[in-house]
Structure 1
Amino acid sequence: MHQIYGPIVRVNPYEVHIKDPEFCIEHFSPVKKLDKYGWWYRVFGGPWSTISTEDHHVHKTRRGTFQNFLAPRMVRGFVPTIFEKLKGASAIMDRHVRTGNVLNLSNVYRCMAADVVSAYVLPTSLNLLESDDLGEEFQSSLRFFFETATSMRYLGFMEPIITIIPSVIFNAMLTQPAKALIRLVRGPDMDKSRICLLERINNNQHEQDEKFRERLIQEAEQFIVAGSETTGHTLAVTTFYILQDKNVQEKLRQELIHADIVFDGNLEITKLQALPYLSAVITEGLRFSHGVGSRLPRINKSSEVQYKQWRIPAGVPISMTSRLHHEDARLFPEPYKFSPERWLQADSKNLKKYLSPFGHGSRICPGMHLAIYEINIAIAYIFTHYTVINSDTTEDDLVSKHDLGAPFPKQDSKGLQVTLQARVTE
């Protein structure tokens, strides 16, 4: 539509979409008091959760109960748990090293992402990496939820069904973690050395009524849903493109070898993040995977918005799509070429403002630091310890084909199929 009609188009009777990176940076600025568009976000259920909260001021209050818990300093304290989950993934990889069998690395990544985010949010993890089916039921349920919810956006009379879908999936999959959540009581087997995110919310809440208990469940649902598919997809996409270019592989491996990173529970994440080529690889992986797969509408209820010669009345939803910016050749020459080197140029710092895999403004993904740490640790560990060989996976198996909120590949995608060899570190 933008190619035909220009940078601003009406995508439905009530909403306009703008393709203009500079305007989006300005409009979605953290200082802007923008509401979410209820019609668009209601399909994900959970009106009490922070992610689905429409009103800017209510969102600010709800997010404030856990904002500090997701700050980089706090997430750094969670690195031992991230590494523990990575070791679980590594055990699966080691078995495939011994057998020589092909491994669906996409499934491993998604299970690891779900285990990490659930361990941060809940008193205990989902432990999908330990499941016999490698979380296949959970992953199928997750895709079913996104597909169904997106379709139901246009069926307002089915809204009561929309709101229970995530709860049905959640309660079916979480078993013991769900019981621990509902009780919000630590049992004798719980790790008392840390407090999970939901307990932080619980401790900050003065009035614990029925609606508040429902909010806790909805927060857990949406954090886990949001933090599983997106991070898993980013890891799979990044790994695939590394494998497509031997030059990228070798540069990454040499940097990791010379950095002499000690991979254990005391891993220095700041040292890892300071590696320039690793950082460039991951940043390019985020650009290719997009983070959020769909447009993000926001509403300025207090004043009209001026865009070039157009005056947009107050209350009209204005949306943007990060993928359109990530693939804009004016910003990223040869946008479909995986090129970490673009992030090593002198002007790369300025370029990063156009990268928005976690969204923009005051509604930026609250779990972004957890995701970034996890991606850094996983990519660094895997390419230090294994020789990874692509087993007939094509780009078509991984690129986003469906606008379902999260980026999903085609329905019959076989995922990232690889074989593995143990690598002797130098």
Structure 2
Amino acid sequence: MYLLLCSFFSFYIGTLVLYRLLFHPLRTFPGPVIAALTDWYEGYFNIVKGGAFITELERLHKVYGPVIRIGPNILHFNDRHAYHDMYTHGSTLVKEPGYYLGFMSHAPQGLLSICDPQDARDRRSLLGPMFSRRAVLALESTIQNKINQLISLIEEHYVSPHSSVKMSMAYRSVTTDIITEYCFAESANTLTPNFDHPIQIGVRELGKRVWIQRYFPFLNSLTSKAPPKLVQWLFPSFRSYVETKTGYEKQIDGLMRNPDSLSTIDHETIYHHLLNPKDQVALSRTTLVHEAFTLVGAGSDTVGNACTVGTFFALKNQMIGRKLVEELREAWPDEDKPLSYVVLEKLPYLTAFIKEALRFSVGVIHHIPRVVGTAPTEIGGHKIPPGTVVGMSSAFLHMNPDVFSDPYTFNPERWLTQDTSTMMFDFAPFSKGPRICIGLNLAWCELYLIFGNIFRKFNMTLLEAEANERTDFHQSFKSDYISPYWHWEDYRVFVEKRI
């Protein structure tokens, strides 16, 4: 019996190898042989090598060209036209369920995890009004209040030649408090003097677990079903996840028991839209909790990362910082009187600086896969068979020298030329097309207000050792995170109040 099973298994493996190499619809596309045989080629680099598959992709494209086979049924592109075929215009392509349900296994019912296009449109129709430009402007004071709190903490604890502040944690604290206050009218209150709130530590730990979570999603399912105290005892790093989940559940339970209590909340929240959906089935408690996780994770990291990157390069290149400050001083003579978002967004150099910070910080650095529909689809000039999984990292788009000259140099001046239409078309920090980030209006508002206030009110100087830190793009980010964290991102700065 044992011999029979071994023979059958060997026959199955041999047949599968022959099929994938000689008869599979993707057999004509170039790439490593091992990648054609198993999906674990990518898994090896992401788990064993700590997310290094993005670096491997760059190497593979240099060897094999603009389209490569990176799995038995997966193609990756390095072609700007292919990117737009897949994401900007790719309305017939859908999210690949295995990837998203793994990556988002802690919140599989949130918007980011929804793969069906109609279900995604339905959910976006509920959340969209909350993130419209009108809604963002109506809650601008809520955003500004949190930034004022950040300014006060820095003034109270770090305006001294003997102290320095870690800007990455300061920025992620304020963006976390903004998104939680904005969405729920209940701030996470991560703005503490040391910027070391457990939620911030937990988010970073979650980032480090992303590849384990991606390939072994059942681990998150187990922790969500197990008693919270047991989870915290077995996995101490899950503490902030459990506590945050418990907090969302308590708020949602209270609102579901007493929907009229929505009228007593300080301002409009996502629950005003999600608890009473028109022409849709009411969302479950679990779905509401997952949506809360999705919004907070997506709403804090991209903006916090862009602020961290932008500030570092503005301080490293004094000419950039000086131009930014000069423009802000001229437009904002009295720094004690707040300047609104609609005024700040009209400042040309600040706008160019923010765009460059978003371009350089990339957003999601790893490719986000789509599945070709039931008919062959042309992507980047290639006919792609139905059912093929395709993708392209936006890092390849943002670092394309044919569109962004000298792409690995942080240069806001590139955005001050007369015609930036080609660059804007390939500018995708929030993705593109029908699945573009729903919170981009809020993100832009945060970026203008945070950068405007920080650079108008403070004179910052990098610690000498960190001012000399190498910033080679390929060697700088920690690819074990789904979004790029940088080797130098824990830089510290000396702060003086600007006169």
Query: Which TM-score applies when normalising by structure 2?
Result: 0.77
SS in structure 2 of the partner of residue 420 of structure 1: strand
Distance 2:472 2:200 in 1: 16
Inter-partner Cα distance in structure 1 for 2:264 and 2:339: 20
- In 2 relative to 1, CA 358–309 (structure 1 residues): closer, same or farther, beyond 3 Å? closer
Quick check: 1:88 aligned with 2:131? Answer: no
For 1:208 and 1:177, the matched residues in 2 are separated by 21
- Tell me the CA shift for residue 170 of structure 1: 3.6
Q: Partner residue of 1:160?
A: 221
| Greater gyration radius | 2
What letter matches 1:122 in structure 2?
F
Match of 1:289 in 2: 361
**Percent of aligned positions that are identical:** 26
For residues 145-176 of structure 1, the C-alpha deviation after alignment (integer angstroms, 9 at most, x for no partner) is 23223223233664633766999644414765
**Are 2:498 and 1:420 aligned?**
no
Q: Is the 8 A contact 1:83 1:264 kept in 2?
A: no
Q: Which residue of 2 aligns with 1:196?
A: 269
CA gap 1:414/1:51 in 2 versus in 1, 3 angstroms: closer
Deviates more, 1:66-75 or 1:149-158: 149-158
Describe how 1:59-138 pairs up with structure 2 within 5 A.
Answer: 59-95=120-156, 96-98=158-160, 100-130=162-192, 133-138=194-199
CA contact (8 A) 1:50 1:62 kept: yes
RMSD of Structure 2 on Structure 1 (CA): 2.8
**Alignment of 1:181 onto 2:240:** no
Change (3 A) 1:224 1:189: same
Instruction: Please report how far the alpha carbon of residue 339 of structure 1 lies from its aligned counterpart in structure 2 after TM superposition.
Output: 0.8
State the SS of the aligned residue for 1:66. helix
Alignment-derived partner of residue 50 in structure 1: 111
Q: Work out the CA distance in 1 between the residues paired with 2:306 and 2:397.
A: 17
Report the AA paired with residue 429 of structure 2. Answer: P
Q: CA deviation at 1:128?
A: 0.5
Task: Tell me which moved more, 228-237 or 392-401.
Answer: 392-401
User: Structure 1 CA distance, aligned partners of 2:417 and 2:210?
Assistant: 41
TM-score by length of 1: 0.90
- Classify 1:214/1:261 alpha carbon distance in 2 versus 1 (closer, same or farther; 3 Å): farther
> How do residues 294-305 of structure 1 correspond to structure 2 at under 5 angstroms?
294-305=366-377
**400 and 227 in structure 1: CA distance in 2 versus 1, 3 angstrom threshold:** farther
Q: 1:163 to 1:313 in 2, by over 3 A?
A: farther
Which structure has the highest helix share of the two?
2
- d(CA) in 2 for partners of 1:64 and 1:262? 41
Sort the Cα spacing of 1:32 and 1:265 in 2 relative to 1 into closer, same or farther, 3 A: farther
For residues 263 and 173 of structure 2, what CA distance do their matches in structure 1 show?
21
Aligned length: 420
1:2-43, CA deviations, whole angstroms, 9 ceiling, x for partnerless residues?
111111111211211111112212332257143111111112
Task: Give, in whole Å, the separation in 2 of the partners of 1:263 and 1:177.
Answer: 37
1:373 maps onto 2:445 in alignment: yes
User: Which amino acid in 2 is paired with 1:83?
Assistant: Q
Report the Cα offset of residue 121 of structure 1.
1.7
Match of 1:408 in 2: 485
Name the CA distance, whole Å, in 1 between partners of 2:218 and 2:249.
Answer: 29
CA contact under 8 A between 2:403 and 2:422: conserved in structure 1? no
Q: Pick which of 303-312 and 342-351 moved more.
A: 303-312
Task: Render the CA deviation track for 1:392-411: whole Å, top value 9, x for unaligned.
Answer: 3235599422143222234x
| Counterpart contact for 2:86–2:93, Cα < 8 Å | no
